[in-house]
Amino acid sequence: MLTTLPPDAVCELIQAIGAPVFVAAVEPAGGFSFVAINRRLEALSGLRDADLRGRPLDAALPQAAAERLRARLEECVAAAAPIDYEDFLQNDGVHWLKVSLTPLLDDDGRVARIMGVPQDVTAARMAEDRLLRAAEAGGVAVWEWSLGADRRSGPLRQVNLAALLGLPAEPGGDGADWEQALPPATMERMRAELLAAVDRGDEAVTLDFSPPDGAGGQRHLLVRGRIERDGKAVRIIGSTLDVTARHGLQQALAAERGIFRELAQLSSDWFWMTDETDRFVPFPAIGNGDGVTELGAAGLARRDLLDTRVPAEDMPEIEAAVAARQPFRNLVYPQRQADGRALVVSISGNPRFDAEGRYLGYIGVCTDITARRNWMKLQYGRQKLEALGQMAGGLAHELNNLLQPMLSFATRARRMVGDGSPVAPLLDDIAASGRQARDIVRGVLTFSRHDRAENRPVVLSEAVCRAVDFAAGVLPPTVRVDRSIEPLPDTAAVRTADVAQVIMNLVSNAVDATDGRGRLSVALRRVQVPGDPLGEERGLAPGAYAVLRVADDGCGMEPGVLANVFDPFFTTKPVGEGTGLGLSVVYGIAKGWGGDVVVTSAPGEGASFEVFVPLCADELPSSQRQARDIAV
């Protein structure tokens, strides 16, 4: 309709549009002429519809403005599609315009007229300009690039960009000028990334590039742009920041983090971290040293790791420190791993707070002290047994001196009174009691004995076989004994009576543990120290050992029982059924041989006693043996 209406009607029509509007006609001979403009455009441009109507562009407008408009109108005719562009007009001042051209087609599909809507964007432009000036003053590079049709050129407005890019002068007002000023490889990459973002329909684009800083180094620049689309027109408004300093800091931080991580991985300690609810959070920055991840403890509280089967040790102190947000050092608690392994760990921790003083949780280290603790326990156990042995020795000495007159006087008095006296049975009882007391004291002395004075080399496997035969003969028939005794030819400096006593004590202990209905096994094997882990752990002297193992499938022992099992007078049997000396005698004999006893047991899983017996390297002549014994 607009293609055929007479100018008056067109003018009438476009008055109704709430924006400045003009309609131009495409002259059949080429060129353009005005059909009409509305009052809004009159007000904006200072031109009058009456002066323009029907007049060719060149006659109606100043030359520069006419040329710019004609170029755009021709572009629109060629495209036969709407185009947008930016322009300005100058009358009393400069007005920045954003112009939309819409081709109006006649019945034959040719562009007969073009309707233009030039909108005044001066206010927005002024605001942008003010921002640009502020950016300029602040040393920030900001720019606006209206992408041309070839996607290379197009007006580029900027402040500070040349200085930031290290260019000696501003290349010009077109994107193409700037492209040429930059290294081709850099520009190629950046344009590819930029255009990819445009083609993807992204609203923003971030690029980085590192031009030389002119002093042999590099600067790191960060480019961020907002992509604006208006029809086909694409404009990118962005800023370019020099992030060299930040980049340096990041590099330094990454390096420090790398060093920390390396140290953490070299350390045998674990590191842990909790959040403000005191639950563990992973600590991935340190890789393998991250105890939280290693233990699968993320989301758990400290108490969830506690091994509740044993005393909690310092756990109350740890919890008190955490409740009070206090640092703590080297506090110990038993820890149960996800794989069921029980450890003893020592932990230290510091609370963390943010700048406002809000509690963030704890950070700390954790040391596995299980081995150290076991070693200390072993040492403590040894010292305890040695001290007990000394005490027992002293006690035995005193008691023996008291028992001597009791026994002696009782038997002598018995001789004096003769068989018919009513006192005779009383004196017999005194003597019998004295002898029982003597036997108990002998047991204590065996425990406290550490020498090998009367030991003679015997073929250990034979002594063991005989002793097991003897022991099996006196056991209840319901007990089954499996033997796996290697016929070792080695000799050991032991007394066969001691071997028999060790086996008898261990076997009867095992029978008690199985309630007389179980299955025992007795085994003998040869090991070498170093080489045998158990022997090494006990700190045995290097050499060959025979290991006598007596195991049962009985009730097993609680850790508390296990720790005391070799203590003299320690017994789990009801009063009157056991002296509590059996296993301590075994221990005393084994130590006297220069060996050791290792017990492993858990409740319900039976028990196993392994007696390490040092083997003779080679047969010594008996005279040398005697001398060695004396020198002990």
Partner 1 sequence: MKRILLVEDQPLVRKAVRGALEDAGFEVVEAADGEEGLSVARQSTFDLAIVDIWMPRVDGIEFLKQVRGVHAELPVVIISGGGPDAPLEVKAHLAQAHGATEVLFKPFEDEELLAAVNRALVH
Which residues of the chain form contacts with partner 1 (CB under 8 A)? 390, 393-394, 396-398, 400-409, 411-412, 415, 434, 438, 445, 448-451, 453-454, 629-630, 632
Distances (CA, A) of 445 to 282, 501, 583, 588, 591: 57, 14, 14, 9, 13
Query: Based on CB atoms, which residue is closest to partner 1, 12 or 386?
Result: 386
CB 100, CB 117: distance < 8 Å: yes
φ/ψ region of 299 (left if φ > 0, alpha if ψ in -120 to 50, else beta) reads left
State in angstroms the smallest separation of the CB of 403 from partner 1.
4
State in angstroms the smallest separation of the CB of 396 from partner 1.
5
User: Crossing angle of helices 582-592/496-513, nearest 10°?
Assistant: 140
The rounded distance, in Å, linking the Cα atoms of 409 and 415 is 10
Query: How many CB atoms within 10 Å of residue 292?
Result: 22
State in angstroms the smallest separation of the CB of 408 from partner 1.
4
Q: Which residues pair with 456 in a beta bridge?
A: 494
Sequential DSSP letters for 281-333: ---GGGGGGBHHHHHT-TT-BGGGGB-TTS--TTHHHHHHHHHTT--EEEEEE
CB 446, CB 463: distance < 8 Å: no
Query: Based on CB atoms, which residue is closest to partner 1, 288 or 390?
Result: 390
State in angstroms the smallest separation of the CB of 379 from partner 1.
21
State in angstroms the smallest separation of the CB of 400 from partner 1.
4
In 3D space, the residue among 247, 249, 256 whose CA is nearest the CA of residue 211 turns out to be 247
State in angstroms the smallest separation of the CB of 499 from partner 1.
17
Pairing of strands 270-273, 233-242: unpaired
Helix (H, G, I), strand (E, B), or coil: what is residue 118?
Answer: strand
CB 302, CB 281: distance < 8 Å: no
CB 113, CB 25: distance < 8 Å: yes
Query: Based on CB atoms, which residue is closest to partner 1, 206 or 390?
Result: 390
Query: Based on CB atoms, which residue is closest to partner 1, 33 or 448?
Result: 448
State in angstroms the smallest separation of the CB of 626 from partner 1.
9
Query: Based on CB atoms, which residue is closest to partner 1, 208 or 629?
Result: 629
Where is 345: in which H helix or E strand?
strand 342-353
The rounded distance, in Å, linking the Cα atoms of 208 and 238 is 13
State in angstroms the smallest separation of the CB of 570 from partner 1.
22
State in angstroms the smallest separation of the CB of 455 from partner 1.
10
Query: Based on CB atoms, which residue is closest to partner 1, 434 or 582?
Result: 434
Query: Based on CB atoms, which residue is closest to partner 1, 406 or 562?
Result: 406
State in angstroms the smallest separation of the CB of 506 from partner 1.
23
| β-sheet with 328-336: strand ranges across | 270-273, 359-368, 342-353, 328-336
Please give the DSSP secondary-structure letter assigned to residue 420. Answer: T
**Ranges assigned E (strand) in 469-615:** 480-485, 491-494, 519-529, 543-552, 596-601, 607-614
Helix (H, G, I), strand (E, B), or coil: what is residue 617?
Answer: coil
Query: Based on CB atoms, which residue is closest to partner 1, 344 or 407?
Result: 407
Tokens of 211: 């031009």
Query: Based on CB atoms, which residue is closest to partner 1, 361 or 594?
Result: 594
Query: Based on CB atoms, which residue is closest to partner 1, 481 or 502?
Result: 502
The rounded distance, in Å, linking the Cα atoms of 579 and 570 is 8
Through-space distance between the first and last CA atoms of the chain, rounded to whole angstroms? 129
State in angstroms the smallest separation of the CB of 397 from partner 1.
5
**Site of tokens 């882990």:** 533
In 3D space, the residue among 526, 475, 522 whose CA is nearest the CA of residue 503 turns out to be 522
Query: Based on CB atoms, which residue is closest to partner 1, 268 or 401?
Result: 401
State in angstroms the smallest separation of the CB of 378 from partner 1.
23
Burial class (CB in 10 A: 0-12, 13-18, 19+), 364: buried
Helix (H, G, I), strand (E, B), or coil: what is residue 108?
Answer: coil
* Helix intervals (H) in 449-577: 460-474, 496-513, 533-537, 559-564
Query: Based on CB atoms, which residue is closest to partner 1, 535 or 588?
Result: 588
Query: Based on CB atoms, which residue is closest to partner 1, 320 or 402?
Result: 402
Tokens of 158: 């900027």
State in angstroms the smallest separation of the CB of 414 from partner 1.
10
State in angstroms the smallest separation of the CB of 275 from partner 1.
59
Greatest alpha-carbon span in the chain:
168
Query: Based on CB atoms, which residue is closest to partner 1, 274 or 584?
Result: 584
Query: Based on CB atoms, which residue is closest to partner 1, 309 or 435?
Result: 435
Tokens of 224: 């961020």
In 3D space, the residue among 107, 86, 105 whose CA is nearest the CA of residue 97 turns out to be 86
State in angstroms the smallest separation of the CB of 586 from partner 1.
17
Query: Based on CB atoms, which residue is closest to partner 1, 373 or 456?
Result: 456
State in angstroms the smallest separation of the CB of 588 from partner 1.
10
